[in-house]
Amino acid sequence: MANSNKSSTADTALLQLRKEIDAIDDRILDLLNQRARCAQQVAEIKTAAGEVDCFHRPEREAEVLRRIAENNRGPLSQEAVTRFFRELMSECLALEKPLAVAFLGPQGTFTQQAAYKHFGHAIQALPLPTIDEIFRAVESGACQYGVVPVENSTEGVITHTLDSFLRSFLLIAGEVGLRIHHNLMSTVSSSEEIREVFSHQQSLAQCRGWLDRYLPNVRRTPVSSNAEAARLAAVMPNTAAIAGEVAAELYGLTILERNIEDEPDNTTRFLVIGRNPVGATGNDKTSLLLSTRNNPGALYAVLEPFARHGISMTKIESRPSRRGTWDYVFFIDVEGHRDDPRLAEALKDVEKSVTMLKILGSYPRASF
C-alpha cells in the first residue's frame, strides 16, 4: 500500500515536470523561430549591401559563442551550450544562404567531423579526394570554404597543406582542434582472422606501438584516408581498418578495439580556408608565410620584432620553397589579429628583413 502511494506520488510529480518541460519547449520553439526570422532579416540587409556569395561571419559567430559561454550558469556544460548554439547558428545561416564546405573525403573522415564541429551540421558538405582539389574548389568559388588537416600532435605537420599555401591566394578563416581516437574495425569478429590492416599513413604511424604489440604479423597498407580504409575493409575478406567511429557506422564494420592510438592526447588541427579576410574578435591568431635571405642571423632578424612588440609565437615550421628563388620558407603562427596595433607594428618591422611576407590570415582561436 505504502509502495503504491509512493509510486503514484512519483507519477504525479513526473507528469507535472513533463508538463513544465512541454511548456518550456513551446517557448524555446517560439524563440528559435523568432531568432531565425532575425537571421532572415540580416540576410536581407546583407543582400541589399551587395553581398552575394558568403553570408557567413566567423567573427560574429565567435562573439555569440563567447557571450553564451560567459553567461552560462549551468547545469549545462560550456561544451554543451557551445554545441547547441553552433548548430543554431548553422541552421540560421542555412536559412540565409546555404554554405558549401569542401572537406577531405570520403564521407566519414575526421576532416568531415572537423567541418561539422566548426560550421554545425546545416552545411552542404562536399567530400573531395585530395587537398589540392579542396583548394581548387574554394579558389574557383564552387565552395565558400574548405577544411584541411594541418598538423597532428603525434606526427607533426601535414606538409602538403602547408605547401599548398605557397601557390594559393586563399586565406585561413579558422582553425579546428579535434581529439583523434582510432579504432580497429572489421567485418571479422576476432583480430586473429586479420591478415591486412588499412589506414591513412598518419594513422598507421599514430598506432605504431599498438600494432607492433598486438598485430605484429599483419600487413599494414597505407591508403588515401581512414574512411577509404573502412570502405576497403568492408569489402575485402580478412582485413581491418583503423579509423574513427563514424567510419565504422558508415561502412557497417564492428569495432574490435577502441582508442588504439599510442598517445592519449592525440589531437589534429585543421584549417578552414576561404576567400575573405575575417574581422578581429579579441582572441585571434595570425598565420604568416615568409622567406628570408640565406644569411647568418636572418631568421633572428625576422623573429626579433615579435619579441620586441610582445607578440607570442605559437608555431614555426620551415619548408623548402620549391620556387628556386629562396631556399626555405617559414610558416609562423602568432597570437593576435593583423589589425591589432601591436601586431601591425611588429609586421611592419618584420617586412623590412624578409624577402617575402604573406599574411595567410587572422582568425578566431579554436576552443579545443
Ligand X SMILES: O=C(O)C(=O)C[C@]1(C(=O)O)C=C[C@@H](O)C=C1
Active-site annotation, residues: 268, 270
Residue with smaller CB distance to ligand X, 89 or 247:
89
Residue with smaller CB distance to ligand X, 42 or 357:
42
Residues 271-290 that bind ligand X (CB under 6 A): none
Q: Which of 42, 166, 280, 359 binds ligand X (CB under 6 A)?
A: 42
Shortest distance, CB of residue 36 to ligand X, whole angstroms?
Answer: 8
CA distances 54 to 11, 40, 175, Å, are 51, 14, 18
Shortest distance, CB of residue 104 to ligand X, whole angstroms?
Answer: 23
**Helix pair angle (131-139, 159-167), 10° resolution:** 30
Please choose, out of 52-60, 147-155, 174-182, 305-313, the segment that lies near ligand X by the rule CB under 6 A: 52-60
For position 66 contacting ligand X by CB under 6 A, the verdict is no
Taking residues 90 to 109 in sequence order and writing x for each that binds ligand X by CB under 6 A, - otherwise, the string is --xx--x-------------
Nearest to 286 by CA among 323, 246, 340, 237: 340
Q: Which of 61, 261, 333, 335 binds ligand X (CB under 6 A)?
A: 61
Which residue has its beta carbon closest to ligand X? 92
334 Cβ contact list (under 8 Å, min separation 6): 285, 286, 288, 306, 311, 312, 313, 314, 343, 346
Shortest distance, CB of residue 99 to ligand X, whole angstroms?
Answer: 8
Total of chain residues touching ligand X, rule CB under 6 A = 12
Residue with smaller CB distance to ligand X, 89 or 311:
89
Residue with smaller CB distance to ligand X, 207 or 278:
278
Shortest distance, CB of residue 337 to ligand X, whole angstroms?
Answer: 18
Residue with smaller CB distance to ligand X, 89 or 243:
89
Rounded-to-integer distance, Cα 287 and Cα 275, Å? 15
Residue with smaller CB distance to ligand X, 38 or 307:
38
Please choose, out of 50-58, 139-147, 163-171, 201-209, the segment that lies near ligand X by the rule CB under 6 A: 50-58
For position 64 contacting ligand X by CB under 6 A, the verdict is yes
Q: What letter does residue 54 receive in the DSSP assignment?
A: -
Q: Which of 39, 188, 316, 359 binds ligand X (CB under 6 A)?
A: 39
212 Cβ contact list (under 8 Å, min separation 6): none
For position 60 contacting ligand X by CB under 6 A, the verdict is yes
Shortest distance, CB of residue 52 to ligand X, whole angstroms?
Answer: 15
> Helices marked H in 298-366 — which ranges?
298-308, 341-352
Shortest distance, CB of residue 35 to ligand X, whole angstroms?
Answer: 7
Instruction: Name the grid cell of 78.
Output: 560550456
Helix, strand, coil percentages (3-state) for the chain, rounded to 5, are 45, 25, 30
323 Cβ contact list (under 8 Å, min separation 6): 166
Rounded-to-integer distance, Cα 92 and Cα 100, Å? 15
- Amino acid 235 reads V
**Is 28 buried (19+), middle (13-18) or exposed (0-12) by CB count in 10 A?**
exposed
Q: Which of 62, 65, 89, 234 binds ligand X (CB under 6 A)?
A: 89
266 Cβ contact list (under 8 Å, min separation 6): 152, 153, 154, 179, 180, 181, 182, 206
Residues of this chain that bind ligand X (CB under 6 A): 39, 42, 55-57, 60-61, 64, 89, 92-93, 96
